[in-house]
């Protein structure tokens, strides 16, 4: 079963990577006849002197925009800036309202780029109060890369005045400027910039970029595409859009996001720690050869596989950092080792929980069912992870596979707890029915500790670490990976210590008894029909045969 699952996963891996991994920090996304109202294109953390360049081409709508629909149709982009990975309240507080129809609030760092179909321009809108916190959006044209037609809807000097009277518009603006919509808040000033776009029979294209010029502008920037029809929102909108967009993001010395720059060094460092822990474990196994079981060697393979996975992950991130996209060969090797590591981890935890190779050499039907569930789920989880890593964030498949990965990972974590729970229940019953209560109670205590370890490991890596990732500032997002790897290392070390090959380990003491007694104990423990019976030797022709029979002691 395990071989078939691994073979299927490797086959799926080859198919997924046939076309090569998607560009990582140099993005290229093509959407065809998409119906979504909001598309999250990308999120990137910028330091000072970092920049983003966006090339929008082949932007078209189906059916084409008519003259009557130009007023009700809103298409454009939003650039949102936050200090951490939390959700933007500005973008998510009104889900049913078109964000492009809402003027930016004065205390919110967001830029709107609205495509005007009538005048064939892109209107860039942002709050004057937040101008110092936002980078300047510049448009690239054939003649001048910074050509902008800027107009001021309300002078920023008047924003400190009382909001009783409406602000006066700039006298130099023409009549078209006067028709611009004013913010609903009289004390708020909105700066609007315009730039012409190229229109080729209903297909629009333009380029824009920005540069982080000060420390105040550093942060986590998220780029969204919006499309909505109607005055009040995108309800019952069946307008399709097609889009081809290229995004290049770069910090001063790396193509990685601000919170990912330390990751190559972090992964290499953790790979060394896992390799050292595996080396120590091999030394212990060689020293205690008489107490070593097959499961101990399986446990030895886990830290080395984890170490290899981290090394290839570090190499993958190194090439992304230096050139903006991964090397296909290194990415494939990393995905393969990641798949093997994940499957080996869950299989090892489940085997330890069932007591295989320690107290029994054959898995029960319930144990086999657990493996028939866990192994396919692990294959599906790794396929989902590979698809997410090699797919652009704005595609429709990205969100679906991300939800599948989260759900399947939780199911795997829940499934591996069942063998431990069954072993605890078995030991509770055995300690009350046979004459080895002290040994069984010691093993029961050990299994309870192991259960708590697994629960804490799952809870920390799946919940606590993710909450920390959301809460910390953008430049400290690498702490999530550090905590996750440290928790995994601690879990490996504690598991090895608890189930180390030693004669005084209560987990191994049952294997020192007679094998027939083991089988009989399992029968007596699981069934009460043999209670009050003892095993006697059968005498044939004056000689005792090895076969045994049961007789009542009543």
Q: Are 331 and 316 in contact (CB under 8 A)?
A: yes
Higher pLDDT, 148 or 37: 37
Given a cut of 70, is residue 336 above it in pLDDT? Answer: yes
pLDDT at position 99 is 77
pLDDT at position 105 is 67
pLDDT at position 451 is 83
What are 501-533's pLDDT values in tens digits? 876 666 665 444 444 444 434 433 444 444 455
Peptide bond into 63 cis (omega under 30): yes
As a whole number of angstroms, the distance between CA 378 and CA 382 comes to 6
Given a cut of 50, is residue 257 above it in pLDDT? Answer: yes
Min mean pLDDT across 45-49, 142-146, 221-225, 405-409 is at: 142-146
pLDDT at position 23 is 40
Higher pLDDT, 126 or 155: 126
What are 158-178's pLDDT values in tens digits? 333 433 343 333 333 333 333
Written as one string, the DSSP assignment of 217-249 is G-EEEEEEEEEEESSS--TT---EEEEEEEEEE
Min mean pLDDT across 10-24, 114-128, 300-314 is at: 10-24
Tell me the pLDDT band of 190, cut-offs 50, 70 and 90.
Answer: confident
**262-520 belongs to which homologous superfamily?**
Rhodopsin 7-helix transmembrane proteins (1.20.1070.10)
What are 395-415's pLDDT values in tens digits? 888 888 888 888 888 888 888
Report the share of the chain in percent with pLDDT over 90: 21
Written as one string, the DSSP assignment of 443-467 is HHHHHHHHHHHHHHHHHIIIIIHHH
Mean pLDDT over the full length of the chain: 74
Given a cut of 80, is residue 434 above it in pLDDT? Answer: no
- Secondary structure letter of residue 129 according to DSSP: T
Q: Are 49 and 210 in contact (CB under 8 A)?
A: no
pLDDT at position 237 is 59
pLDDT at position 531 is 46
pLDDT at position 151 is 40
Min mean pLDDT across 46-60, 225-239, 297-311, 331-345 is at: 225-239
Min mean pLDDT across 40-49, 329-338, 353-362 is at: 353-362
User: If residue 420 lies in a helix (H) or strand (E), which one and from where to where?
Assistant: helix 417-433
Given a cut of 90, is residue 272 above it in pLDDT? Answer: yes
pLDDT at position 185 is 41
Q: How far apart are the first and last CA of the chain?
A: 47
Q: Give me the mean pLDDT over the 292-302 stretch.
A: 88
CATH of domain 27-143+190-250: 2.60.120
Domain ranges within the chain, ordered by starting residue: 27-143+190-250, 262-520
């Amino acid at each position: 079963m395990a071989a078939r699952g691994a073979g299927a996963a490797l086959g799926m891996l080859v198919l997924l990577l046939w076309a090569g991994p998607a560009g990582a920090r140099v993005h290229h996304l093509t959407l065809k006849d998409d119906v979504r109202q909001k598309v999250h294109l990308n999120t990137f953390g910028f330091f000072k002197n970092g920049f983003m360049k966006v090339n929008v081409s082949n932007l078209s709508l189906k059916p084409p925009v008519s003259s009557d629909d130009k007023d009700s149709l809103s298409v454009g982009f939003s650039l949102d800036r936050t200090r951490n990975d939390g959700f933007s309240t500005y973008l998510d507080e009104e889900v049913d309202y078109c964000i492009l129809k809402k003027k930016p609030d004065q205390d919110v760092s967001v830029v709107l780029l609205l495509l005007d179909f009538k005048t064939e321009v892109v209107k860039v809108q942002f709050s004057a109060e937040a101008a110092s916190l936002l980078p300047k959006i510049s448009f690239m044209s054939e003649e001048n890369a910074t050509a902008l037609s800027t107009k001021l809807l309300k002078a920023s000097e008047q924003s400190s005045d009382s909001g009783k009277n409406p602000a006066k518009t700039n006298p130099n603006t023409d009549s078209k400027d006067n028709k611009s919509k004013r913010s609903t808040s009289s004390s708020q000033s909105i700066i609007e910039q315009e730039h012409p776009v190229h229109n080729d029979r209903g297909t629009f294209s333009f380029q824009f970029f920005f540069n982080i010029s000060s420390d105040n502008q550093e942060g986590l920037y998220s780029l969204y595409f919006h499309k909505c029809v109607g005055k009040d929102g995108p309800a019952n909108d069946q307008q399709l859009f097609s889009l081809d967009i290229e995004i290049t993001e770069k910090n001063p010395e790396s193509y990685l996001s601000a919170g990912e720059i330390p990751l190559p060094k972090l992964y290499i460092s953790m790979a060394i720690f896992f390799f050292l822990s595996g080396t120590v474990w091999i030394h212990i196994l060689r020293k205690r050869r008489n107490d070593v079981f097959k499961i101990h060697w399986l446990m030895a393979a886990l830290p080395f596989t984890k170490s290899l996975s981290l090394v290839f992950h570090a190499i993958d991130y190194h090439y992304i950092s230096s050139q903006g996209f991964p090397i296909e060969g290194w990415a494939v090797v990393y995905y393969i080792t990641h798949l093997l590591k994940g499957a080996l981890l869950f299989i090892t935890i489940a085997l330890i929980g069932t007591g295989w190779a320690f107290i029994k050499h054959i898995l029960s039907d319930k144990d086999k069912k657990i493996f028939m569930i866990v192994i396919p789920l692990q294959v599906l989880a790794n396929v989902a992870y590979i698809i997410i890593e090699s797919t652009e964030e704005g595609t429709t498949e990205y969100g679906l596979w991300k939800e599948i990965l989260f759900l399947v990972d939780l199911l795997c974590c829940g499934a591996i707890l069942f063998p431990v729970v069954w072993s605890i229940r078995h030991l509770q019953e055995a300690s009350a029915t046979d004459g080895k209560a002290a040994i069984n109670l010691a093993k029961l205590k050990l299994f309870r500790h192991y259960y708590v370890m697994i629960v804490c490991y799952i809870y920390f890596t799946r919940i606590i670490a993710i909450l920390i990732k959301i809460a910390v500032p953008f430049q400290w997002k690498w702490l999530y990976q550090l905590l996750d790897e440290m928790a995994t290392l601690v879990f490996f070390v504690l598991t090895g210590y608890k189930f180390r090959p030693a004669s005084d380990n209560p987990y191994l003491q049952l294997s020192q008894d007679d094998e027939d007694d083991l089988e009989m104990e399992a029968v007596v423990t699981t069934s009460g029909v043999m209670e009050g019976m003892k095993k006697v030797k059968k005498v044939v022709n004056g000689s005792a045969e090895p076969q045994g029979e049961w007789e009542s002691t009543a």
